Amino acid sequence: MFPCDFAWGAGTAAYQIEGGWQADSKGPSIWDTFCHKKGKVFGDQTGDVACNSYELWEKDLECIQQLGLTHYRLSLAWARLLPDGSTGHVNQKGVQYYNKVIDDLLACNVSPMLTLYHFDLPQALQDQGGWKSPSIATVFDSYAQFCFQTFGDRVKLWITINEPYVCAKLGHEDGIHAPGLKEPGIAAYVVGHNMLRAHAMAWHSYNSLYRPKQKGAVSLAINSDWLDPLHPDCAEDIAAAERYFAFTLGWFAWPVFVTGDYPEIMRSAIDAQSKKLGYSGDSRLPSFSKDEPAVLGTADFFALNYYTSRKVKAREACEQVLCMKSDRDAEEVLDPSWPICGVSWLAVVPHGLKKLLKYIKDTFNNPAVYITENGFSQVGPLQIEDDQRSEFYKDTIFEVAKAIGEDGVNIRGYFAWSLLDNFEWSDGFSVRFGLFHVDFSDAKLTRAMYHSGREYAKIISKYKSNQSG
Ligand code: BGC
């Protein structure tokens, strides 16, 4: 039931694993700055060393081989390649590092999927306004072109930006991710807009300048929960779930896959709230300019990051303050029957993935889909024999198989998050998503396979032999 060229992968992100934050002339990123401030991250931990993959890449490669992966998703640290973010100054050591990673993967028959941006903007660009500044889009496009030019002879799967929703909301509305801005109701919409513009420009550059020769595929990774109305017969809850979808998945997928513009429900909710609160001026949700490369059609596949599901209900009372929550005007509820794993937000709902995949097929015109992230975390005391996580992977992959077999979703690959225990953003090292345990108390940062890793390896080997047979 899995196609013979199905991608069996796992993913990581540069800041979460590489360490070497100043090694070989790397420039600082916004996550370096954020973590070095007190009180931002659990235990004031940082990614200064993390899994030290900058020096221990070969150990990661051994893990990849032990799992039998066909694909590995990693991100490039923009400031490792271009220390001040601009192509005016290239750090050759950074280029060498990623060249080695890519070449080693290919030598082991593993295809790389490269993410250009996974939350770690060069600090020098943040100092010029970061993602709030319209000029960031062309700067990103130059960086993307540099990467296509440098690595695109060997890399065929590209993600421009990982989870624009998370960067925009957690980084610029809630202030719990770098750059730590709290500018509710305004900045996140501007950031999301500039991310879409940047993505679209990079896709067009690839399409016209690199695709003819390199023949790869480019998308952006969109995170989404599955959302059901709390009371399926209640019109207010149904409308609330639709609004919630519009403010998360729709915010980024609608412009790219459906109309070239934001979902109408999103814009009207934001504008109605502006009016109610006496906010004058242009819509807080920016508009796409006809003079720039179109955003519609700028994804060669749908890259989905799925972790959990929610029930959604209409809100009883809405705060009279400018913020995304009041614009969205819908409240999420956890179903008490869903087990929680590790972190409070992550309810284990594998069947939600099947529903979401069908929804994507129906709403976005049956795109090819890669599940670019999906995982289950644990917090201490850690279990190497993590049976619950093993079950999770079995159940989830079974749901993926059903989405292909029963619903006909065109799923091209599945990437577990994550290859290694790593720096889990504001949770530091307290939350572990790895298929491999990393001993952060030991200078060698030894990697050891969890039971869930063994289970995933078994699943891969079973399906790979069915596929080839
Ligand atoms: C991010 C990862 C993160 C994971 C688990 C996603 O939002 O892309 O970097 O580790 O979720 O929280």
Q: Walk across the sheet containing 330-333 and list its strands.
A: 226-229, 309-314, 330-333
Answer yes or no: is the C-beta of 15 below 6 A from any ligand 1 atom. Answer: no
Tokens of 198: 């940047």
Ligand 1 centroid to Cα of residue 343, in Å, is 12
Ligand 1 centroid to Cα of residue 400, in Å, is 20
Tokens of 73: 């998703």
Contact 416, 9 (CB under 8 A): yes
Which pLDDT does position 135 carry in this prediction? 98
Residue among 417, 423, 431, 438 whose CB has most ligand 1 atoms within 8 A, to mutate: 417
For residues 437 and 78, give the distance between their C-alpha atoms in angstroms, rounded to a whole number.
Answer: 27
Residue range 60-65: mean pLDDT, rounded: 99
Query: How does pLDDT run across 189-213, given as a tens digit for each residue?
Result: 999 999 999 999 999 999 999 999 9
Answer yes or no: is the C-beta of 166 below 6 A from any ligand 1 atom. Answer: yes
Answer yes or no: is the C-beta of 162 below 6 A from any ligand 1 atom. Answer: yes
Residue range 57-70: mean pLDDT, rounded: 98
**Phi, then psi, of 273 in degrees rounded to 5:** -70, -40
Query: How does pLDDT run across 255-301, given as a tens digit for each residue?
Result: 999 999 999 999 999 999 999 999 988 999 999 999 999 999 999 99
Query: How does pLDDT run across 329-345, given as a tens digit for each residue?
Result: 999 999 999 999 889 99
**DSSP codes of every residue in 328-340:** H-EEEE--TTSPB
For residues 272 and 268, give the distance between their C-alpha atoms in angstroms, rounded to a whole number.
Answer: 6
Q: Nearest residue CA, atom 12 of ligand 1?
A: 424
High-pLDDT (> 90) share of the chain, %:
95
Residue spans of the domains in the chain: they are: 7-224+342-468
Answer yes or no: is the C-beta of 75 below 6 A from any ligand 1 atom. Answer: no
CA–chain centroid gap for 201, Å, is 19
Contact 17, 422 (CB under 8 A): yes
Which pLDDT does position 469 carry in this prediction? 45
Query: How does pLDDT run across 147-158, given as a tens digit for each residue?
Result: 999 999 999 999
Residue among 120, 163, 167, 346 whose CB has most ligand 1 atoms within 8 A, to mutate: 163
Cα 322–Cα 328–Cα 330 angle in degrees, nearest 5: 125
Candidate from 9-18, 56-65, 259-268, 320-329 with smallest mean pLDDT = 320-329
Residue range 61-78: mean pLDDT, rounded: 99
**Nearest atom within ligand 1 for CA of residue 119:** 9
Query: How does pLDDT run across 238-258, given as a tens digit for each residue?
Result: 999 999 999 999 999 999 999
Answer yes or no: is the C-beta of 120 below 6 A from any ligand 1 atom. Answer: no
Ligand 1 centroid to Cα of residue 395, in Å, is 20
Which pLDDT does position 359 carry in this prediction? 98
Which pLDDT does position 347 carry in this prediction? 95
**Nearest atom within ligand 1 for CA of residue 163:** 8
Contact 414, 27 (CB under 8 A): no
Answer yes or no: is the C-beta of 424 below 6 A from any ligand 1 atom. Answer: yes
Ligand 1 centroid to Cα of residue 423, in Å, is 10
**Nearest atom within ligand 1 for CA of residue 166:** 7
Tokens of 462: 């079973």
Tokens of 252: 């980024």
Answer yes or no: is the C-beta of 417 below 6 A from any ligand 1 atom. Answer: yes
Answer yes or no: is the C-beta of 421 below 6 A from any ligand 1 atom. Answer: no
Ligand 1 centroid to Cα of residue 27, in Å, is 23
**DSSP codes of every residue in 37-98:** STTSSGGG--SSSTT-HHHHHHHHHHHHHHHT-SEEEEE--HHHHSTTSSTTS--HHHHHHH
Residue among 42, 345, 433 whose CB has most ligand 1 atoms within 8 A, to mutate: 433
Residue range 83-89: mean pLDDT, rounded: 98
Which pLDDT does position 468 carry in this prediction? 52
- CATH number listed for the domain at residues 7-224+342-468: 3.20.20.80
Q: What is the gyration radius of the CA atoms in the chain, in angstroms?
A: 21
Ligand 1 centroid to Cα of residue 131, in Å, is 19
Q: How many residues does the chain have?
A: 469
Q: Nearest residue CA, atom 10 of ligand 1?
A: 424
Answer yes or no: is the C-beta of 455 below 6 A from any ligand 1 atom. Answer: no
Q: Nearest residue CA, atom 9 of ligand 1?
A: 13
Which pLDDT does position 466 carry in this prediction? 78
Q: Nearest residue CA, atom 3 of ligand 1?
A: 424
Ligand 1 centroid to Cα of residue 389, in Å, is 17
Q: Nearest residue CA, atom 5 of ligand 1?
A: 424
3-class DSSP state for residue 461?
A: helix
For residues 168 and 174, give the distance between their C-alpha atoms in angstroms, rounded to a whole number.
Answer: 9
Ligand 1 centroid to Cα of residue 111, in Å, is 21
**Nearest atom within ligand 1 for CA of residue 417:** 4
Per the prediction, the chain carries an average pLDDT of 97
Answer yes or no: is the C-beta of 427 below 6 A from any ligand 1 atom. Answer: no
Residue range 371-388: mean pLDDT, rounded: 95
Active site residues: 163, 373
In this structure, the number of other CB atoms found within 10 A of the CB of residue 135 comes to 11
